[in-house]
Chains A and B, each alone.
Chain A
Amino acid sequence: MTAVHGEDERDLVDRAKEGDEEAFETLLRAHADAIYAHSLRFFGDPVAAEEAVQEVFVKVFRSLPTFDGGAAFSTWLFRVTRNTCLDMFRAGKRRPIPVDPVDLATRTTPDHADWVIDAAAVEHAMRALQPEDREALSAVTVFGLSYGEAAAALDVPVGTVKSRVFRARRTLVSVLRPTGGDT
């Protein structure tokens, strides 16, 4: 996806708000991966993630006129994505698939010297994180929010975001370590 930042993004947002379909498409294509990654890690299910992406796109289409530009578009989009996943979960439409620790263990190379992490192993490890740690990590690393922006989006203090992200990383490393290694 083509990344858009700063002035370009603000211009796209303004044009999309005025009904420019091309600007709307460019804007959402630029963020589609982030929306999908967050949803996939929330549900652990590509079908549910696809449904969430659809919902987020439609919500952005409907709600963009109410976006006042007070926060960065990515901060607003992260909130919309997070709330969409939570709403789908609360409404009972979709439930996160539980992660199997045994499955996690077999996805890492058992030899320290040969320690290679593949993407599938990381995705499984992501699913083992506490939901609040995972969403903080998602806000910062997937949506690219600063700690301050993530704190505002999650409605928690900056220090809480920092500690959640740090705890998420430590858990990830711990889960991804070769079996038999100490933690």
Chain B
Amino acid sequence: MDDACLETQRVVSETYDGAHVDPADIQRARMHCTSCDECAAFVSALAEVRRLRDPAAPESVINSAFAKVAEERRRVEAQAATQAAAAAEAEAAARETTGAAEGGAAMAPLFRWLSERLERMPRWAVYAGYAAGGVAALFVVGVVMLQGARYIARPQESATDQDVFYVSPQGAGTAESGAPEDESSNEDRAAEADVAAESAAYVTVGQWVYEFVGIEDSQPANTGKIGTTTSALDTSSAPRTLDVLAFGDPESVLIVDGERILRFELVTRSYRGKAYAMQSRAVSAFDQWPSLPDSYLEPEQDDGSPTFSRVGSDDSRVPIYTVEGADPLENGFAIGPDTAADDPAAGNPNWTWWEPVP
């Protein structure tokens, strides 16, 4: 086969697809086919293939697919009904609150009645009543001032120590805000100041991401191993493989590291009333942020392209993204970096991926 054959067959192929082809090229291809058995056979074969119909979907396949759609429609309608009922309940609760406020207006006749009674009382009795009320008010003011003075006189805890967690690599860590601690614990805290609330403290079990939430005093009964994780459990040690234990709460796990029992929780967010959990490549130290699993390329643009395109927002109005044509409800979605402080992915400079909680 020479270049003329290749060119002829290319022209035939493109003509078959309705593409614009130069009429002179078509004419040349026709001429070529009259003298080339190879290309004539190619044209015949294409015509033969084209004569045959593509496989048609059997009626049973179409019907079963529509049955699935009907099932899905019922599910969506039921979910919408549940949400509507919840909204109605919330509205009713709001009305009750408003009703309570309106109850104040209902008290007006009582005040009118009291006022009328006061007007009819002897003047001395009215003055005596005012004097008793004044004494009671002075007593209340005195008590409040005394408590305030005692509060001001008490030494204050450092505001910077509040609401931070800390896990000592040597053990005996704590994660309570403003809780009294011994001196050695405070020294450890100073030495590990870099492990503060702003930094990441995650582990991955499989691809699921769990966030450190605290230290347990003792290991609960009925724990069971559900997997392993490889983590340093701090920012400086070498990562090691550790058993991950479940203990009844489906969204929490425990990791026993020597004498420490660390509790982690699945990182989740809600989309259309359904819980989705974060997935990531392996995270092996506490200063690492979760990122997209290996199966997704890192987007090049802020709008998620070329990997993702935006498909809507989650229940907290955070934009969600997914691969073209995929269904976020079923297959999950991506969240962009740098979300708000109250977001489950807050502080993360990476794109993250979220899938339905199994």
- A interface residue numbers (CB < 8 A to B): 1, 21, 24-25, 28-29, 32-37, 40-41, 49-50, 53-54, 56-59, 61-63, 66, 76, 79-80, 82-84, 87, 90, 115-119, 122-123, 140-142, 146-147, 155, 162, 165-166, 169-170, 172-173, 176-177
Contact = CB atoms under 8 A, between A and B. Distances in A.
A66 B312 contact: yes
Given A87-B331, A141-B17, A173-B46, A34 B54 contact: yes
A107 to B, nearest CB: 13
Interface in B57-89: 57-58, 61-62, 64-66, 68-69, 72-73
Given A59-B326, A80-B325, A166-B10, 15 more contacts: A32-B62, A33-B56, A37-B57, A56-B65, A58-B65, A58-B72, A61-B73, A76-B325, A83-B325, A141-B17, A169-B13, A170-B42, A173-B41, A173-B45, A177-B41
A66 B45 contact: no
Interface of B: 9-10, 13-14, 17-19, 41-42, 44-46, 48-49, 52-58, 61-62, 64-66, 68-69, 72-73, 295, 306, 311-312, 323-327, 329-331
A58 B331 CA distance: 13
13 contacts: A33-B54, A33-B56, A36-B57, A57-B68, A58-B68, A59-B330, A83-B325, A115-B48, A117-B48, A142-B54, A162-B10, A165-B13, A176-B45
Contacts of A41: 55
A147 B17 contact: yes
A123 B55 contact: yes
Interface of A is mostly: helix
A61 B69 contact: yes
A134 to B, nearest CB: 12
Given A57-B69, A166-B13, A177-B45, A62 B52 contact: no
Contact of A83 (B13, B14, B56, B323): B323
Contacts of B72: 58, 61-62
